[in-house]
Structure 1
Amino acid sequence: MKIALVDSGIGLLAAAAAVRRARPDADLVLSSDPGSMPWGPRSADDITAHAMACAKAARAHAPDALIVACNTASVHALSALRAELEPDVPVIGTVPAVKPAAQGGGPVAVWATPATTGSPYQRRLIAEFGRDAQFTEVPCHGLADAVETAQEHAIGVAVGAAAALTPRGVRAVVLGCTHYELVGGRIRAAVTGEGGPGPVLFGSAEAVAAQALRRIGTAPDPGAAPTGGLTVLLGGRTARLPEPAATYTEGRLLAGAAVTP
């Protein structure tokens, strides 16, 4: 089987690693366009155009399913991508994990890009699935860009600034951008009070990986032979994993696979 993933940059590593852990025998196609980052401040039409270009480049490799591993692209481009690719290629979007985070009650913080924080889309999610939990929306200025380039100091500054806006004692933190899942440990440490147990982090990678497997009619098999290959497309051209990917556990996991070219 072959599963493709689309994102602006290396935020797709989290979902790709989740697929790799669930099915080590699955081939992966990672299609991104880091030169166009960030997508958040762009218009909906512009975001759709960039996501569509990445998806079409991935489609040329005949995937069985495509994961839109980007919250922003899922908001603005999912309908267009499904109209273009389905029913031949199932398209799975990424939704911030507001619903599961709310199930344990509040208080809950939602870390997201400044463009997403306070947006009608995020507010609707909270209103529909937030139940009685108390939600705080936290804008994370510069965090996605810092993660993309693996600049340790910039990551620390961005995480620290967002943590300062997060109420102390939150029970859960929703990671509303796929890039944030790559530094989940640092985020949890930054919002954990002295001597406290720390909040539960809610990302989307595991859920979208599971949904992709369901859509193609297969099940997780973590014990499968690790025969899955890896194709990387940057701006539509075959390449190697960007150097910053090796900074993260997910990137190193994927680098263990055969890389095309």
Structure 2
Amino acid sequence: MQKDDLYASPRDQLAPFQFDEQVARVFPDMIKRSVPGYSHIILNIGVLAGAYAQPNSNVYDLGSSLGAASIAMRHRISAPGVEILAIDSSADMLRRSRDFLDAEESDIPVHNICADIRQVDIKQASVVVLNFTLQFIPPADRLALLTRIHQGLLPGGILILSEKLRFDNPAQQEWLDQHHLLFKRAQGYSDLEIAQKRAAIENVLIPDTEDNHYERLSDAGFSAAHCWFRSFNFASFVAHK
């Protein structure tokens, strides 16, 4: 795992954040040091997939990046005939993901697909994962994506949705921002790295409130949704068909 040093030196100009080869190179270190509880979320995506994956169904990892969620699910799913479709729009991320997947032995195939998840058909799905992915989709497209996911889920299927949250209460937002900053400092990031990364990603990652998520999931057709994990301003939800 290579150390995330992408923003360690001052830059005259900051390009918008994108999931290119440079990010793919350091992504495991970047996300573990940026998202509190990330390893716990990945582990339990596997646990949840193991509980809900149905025989002869598809499991989707939408915005799969380097395949951490796909690998976790592969380790826990025991239902026969399951296939995992790991879909991401970044060829650089998928190229490195394939190296991780091929290093493992498993009876569960993982198919890497380079595509825009807004244009992928969801079929015969028992589990769908959006792990810190929806926040990078334009807000106007989010309901349509969730509706298509709901339509492609089998009865009893679930969506696992992990997201960074924003808050309408300014004092709450400020407190959580301050303590997320302390978390990143504790992970070894300098104030320069934090500031430059924030500037690069500001208009690329657009978070919603928790209420926004519940309302949109209901509008998409999900019968129930609840938060199973939260750490500072990061949360993960399960939505049931």
| Structure 1 and Structure 2 fold alike (TM over 0.5) | no
Q: When the two structures are superposed, what TM-score results if normalisation uses the length of structure 1? A: 0.39
